Amino acid sequence: MKFIDEAEILVIAGNGGNGCISFRREKYVPKGGPDGGDGGDGGDVYLQANKDLNTLIDCCFEKIFRADNGQNGHSCKCTGKRGKDITIKIPIGTRVKNIDTNEIICDMTKHNQHHMIAKGGSHGIGNTRFKTSTNQTPRKCTIGKKGEKRKILLELILLADVGTLGMPNAGKSTFVSSISSSKPKIADYPFTTLTPSLAVVSVNHKQSFVIADIPGLIKGAAEGAGIGIRFLKHLERCHLLLHLVDIAPIDNSIPIDNIKTILKELKKYNKKLTTKTQWLIFNKIDLLPKDEYQKQIEKIIKEINWTNKYYMISAINNKGVKKLCVDIMNFIIKSKSTKLQTKDDNNDKNKIDFLW
């Protein structure tokens, strides 16, 4: 199935039914009073997050979602039938934005989470409601109101604990395949990875985390060069970013320049991403002698004044990978536990232990 992470759709709620003007005219009731019924409310449009979906491709084929209108009122004080609601199923992690106002309407992050995206119009009132002691034969009713109409943008943002970033051919997909059962396409040419993918990494039988592999970035990505910039939004929910660096690039580029390029493009795209915890992962150390790559890495760390953690690994040979995964798991546990504790303190509730 094709991976689609953005879709523009139009949602239209149903209109309310009109009220009815009617009078009783049975054979033995020649001067019967008013008996016009109310109209029915228009149907609402809902969004529902579904864990079984992983793409927005359905919303690319059907662009307009319309709920049913409410029926008009009838004689004999019969109320019109309410319009049928419709529910649009979308993947978990979808962010909904109003295109006209550019405001974020909701963030669908839980399975079966519902959100009303367009409210149906209210019903009109029949002439029965206008009967008074001084007006026994009202010839007045109201029409139903129109339902809400919205043009919205659906943005699917993958739910992952860890995200990878780096230049093309830095070894991101090789790294993901070495620590999980995922089998992404791996080749020695740029942009082998064309769409983001998720993989589950099991550290032991009780602990695991989810890692996202996104296409590589290149210089000028923030201005639209390459394809990786389209998928940087998938890193927004990650607790940790792994910046993979090829210590011996096949294109003879300089690793430190590649690092600066990625950091610069990341800042141009969204400054919030630069505030996330980021670790440098120097990959392909098996291609250089130990003394040479250690000296080169120390020089890089010093020159860019790197204060966060950094690791030296060979993804293809699984060298240094196990320790990295254990440290990632410990970081995620600590990060989520701190978040739960903060939420607990703010809400003044009992402490909740994080479970794996």
Q: Is 164 annotated as a binding residue?
A: no
Consult the annotation and say whether 316 binds a ligand. yes
285 is in an annotated binding site: yes
- C-alpha torsion 284→286→287→292, nearest 10: 100
Structure tokens at 348: 């003044």
**Continuous H helices in the chain:** 58-61, 172-179, 255-269, 271-274, 290-303, 321-347
Per the annotation, does 192 bind a ligand? Answer: yes
Q: Is 94 annotated as a binding residue?
A: no
What's the rounded Cα separation, in Å, for the pair 96 and 59?
A: 13
Based on its alpha-carbon atoms, the radius of gyration of the chain, rounded to whole angstroms, reads 29
| Alpha carbon distance 161, 159 (integer Å) | 7
Residue 286 labeled ligand binder:
yes
CB distance 266 to 233 below 8 Å: no
Q: Is 199 annotated as a binding residue?
A: no
Establish whether 337 is an annotated binding residue: no
Residue 283, annotated as binding a ligand = yes
Annotated binding-site residue? 181: no
- Is 180 annotated to bind a ligand? Reply is no
197 annotated binding-site participant: no
Residue 169, annotated as binding a ligand: yes
Question: Per the annotation, does 124 bind a ligand?
Answer: no
Residue 216 annotated as part of some ligand binding site:
yes
- Is residue 34 annotated as involved in ligand binding? no
Question: Does 177 count as an annotated binding residue?
Answer: no
Asked if residue 36 lies in contact with residue 77, where contact means CB atoms within 8 angstroms, the answer is yes
Q: Which two tokens stand for residue 296?
A: 């080169």
Is 49 known as a binding-site position?
A: no
The answer to whether 134 is a known ligand-binding residue is no
* 254 in a labelled binding site: no
Residues within the annotated binding site for GTP? 166-173, 191-195, 213-216, 283-286, 314-316
Binding residues: 166-173, 191-195, 213-216, 283-286, 314-316
Residues annotated in a binding site for Mg(2+) = 173, 193
